[in-house]
Amino acid sequence: MRSSKFQDQQRRVYVNDKQRQFLSARQKRRTYVGGRGSGKTSVAGHQTRMEMNYLPRAKVFLAGLTYTQLRLNTVPAMEDSWKAHGLREYNDKLGVGHYVIGKRPPVDWLKPYQPPQTYENVVSFINGYTVQLLSMDRSELNRGGNFDGGHIDESGLVRHEHVTKILSPMIRGNIYRFSHYLHQTLCDYTSVPWLPSGQWVFNTEELAKSEPEDYFFLESTAYDNVDVLGEKYLRNLRNGMSQLEWDVEVMNQRLTKLPNSFYPAFNEEKHGVWKTYSYEYDEATGLTLPTDSDRDSKRPLEASFDFNAAFTSLTLHQEHGMEFRTLDALWVTQSTTSVLDALVAKFCDNYEDHQAKHLIIYGDRNGNNKQANSNLTYYQQIQLKLQERGWSSEVMVDGLDPDHRLKHIAINELLAETNPRLPLIRINRNKAKFLIISIQQSPITPDWKKNKNSEKMNIPQERATHLSDCFDNIVYRKYGHLFGRADTSYQVYFLGRG
């Protein structure tokens, strides 16, 4: 197979040393784990540019968690790399350019050997090389494809079984058409996973040790890309982050084992749900737009509040038959008015399109206390602000908080899903990711209390125990009457990597 005519158009393009190592590797299976600013999405752009050059008329996939992530974040970053190579998006009026996004390519361009059925989520290049976007929140719709290679963006957010059972098997065929080493390559790019379910990305590291001819693994930090970012940028980034966030997000350090968990029955794969968007065609814009598929706009919503001067938060919920769904997690850390008013305004803004504007309110019992310099309680203030925005509401918080040991046992019985009287907990992993992190990182003390030291640490407070407190307050108050006597206890164990 001859390379395309673009091979002869030499151009000097800068890549850092780690990017060069990845692009020079010839293994069919490659993983790039890089911190924020390390250039992992840029290297995906360089990689696809190389494939475009040597694999004309090939079709590869670009998989990610949602089409929204791919179209708004990933593809534009890859475009920067394509433009560095001299490629330009096709201009209909001038009739010049090298690729089109989300529409059928010009009729005189080469087509891939297996063209896509539709072009809405496709990037087509002039020589027939094609990148088809795949949204893994609709993984079952992606089965049965036929591709010459693939790329996975933020693979730490994609389920391992979707990679092994759906994506990898689709890289097949066309061996008689391509002999270049880039053919049938699968590359994934990710930052260090915060959640245990993403730890599978390090499998490539172990396989590269035993099978180095077939597997390549590379790690990178933002400092590997300092010539592009500049030292001043990194200093400013460091000054604006907590130590934990800096270590994980920028310096690419893996999370260590978590302390004993307050939620030993929590299972991220079982209780977390990715499939929370539907994609509907909008005639006004001509685009297919994502909408919430786990929320019924014609039914009331339920919220659970946690009050803290530096971090006021809520989790948003709705019952669907035997499922109790967590739809979202919202918080405010500062405001020109009050953080509570700002949080209510944020909720109203985000759910302005909700038709049944009635909110059922749960939360911390301290919300029944009067605010400083006010005759209103926290909950009365919330109701007042909701009313101003056209929402009715009712408060379901009275009495004292439950015994810590009883709450621990009851919530874990709920999460265990062994009692048919209890609902199934399902959490939106797109919008309520930080609730899952809060649950995963909530230790337990010897006297059955939740260890809340994280609320005093210099870490992003959305990763502390506040959001899990919201979860506790609504779950126990709603379903506490369904629990039997707490005669047994649950084993407490370690979460995270062993």
Q: What is the pLDDT of residue 155?
A: 93
Of 196, 229, 244, which closes a domain?
A: 244
Domain that holds residue 217: 5-244
Q: Do 90 and 127 belong together in one domain?
A: yes
CA quadruple 222, 225, 230, 231: dihedral sign:
positive
Q: Do 232 and 288 belong together in one domain?
A: no
Q: What is the pTM of this model?
A: 0.57
In a domain, 489, yes or no: no
Domain count of the fold of the chain: 2
Q: Do 379 and 449 belong together in one domain?
A: yes
Backbone angles phi, psi at 238, to 5 degrees: -65, -40
Backbone angles phi, psi at 494, to 5 degrees: -85, 140
**CATH number of the domain bearing residue 81:** 3.40.50.300
Residues of the chain with pLDDT under 50: 1-3, 6-7, 257-259, 484-498
In a domain, 492, yes or no: no
In a domain, 307, yes or no: yes
Q: What is the pLDDT of residue 274?
A: 74
CA angle at 356 for the pair 308 and 277, rounded to the nearest 5° = 80
| Residue 297 near residue 355 (C-beta atoms within 8 A) | yes
Q: Do 272 and 320 belong together in one domain?
A: yes
Q: Do 194 and 335 belong together in one domain?
A: no
Q: What is the pLDDT of residue 5?
A: 52
**CATH number of the domain bearing residue 477:** 3.30.420
Q: What is the pLDDT of residue 381?
A: 94
Q: Do 188 and 316 belong together in one domain?
A: no
Q: Do 226 and 149 belong together in one domain?
A: yes
The pair of structure tokens assigned to 50 is 């190389």
The pair of structure tokens assigned to 302 is 């339920």
In a domain, 488, yes or no: no
Q: Do 327 and 231 belong together in one domain?
A: no
Q: What is the pLDDT of residue 426?
A: 94
In a domain, 446, yes or no: yes
In a domain, 419, yes or no: yes
Q: Do 223 and 317 belong together in one domain?
A: no
In a domain, 167, yes or no: yes
In a domain, 496, yes or no: no
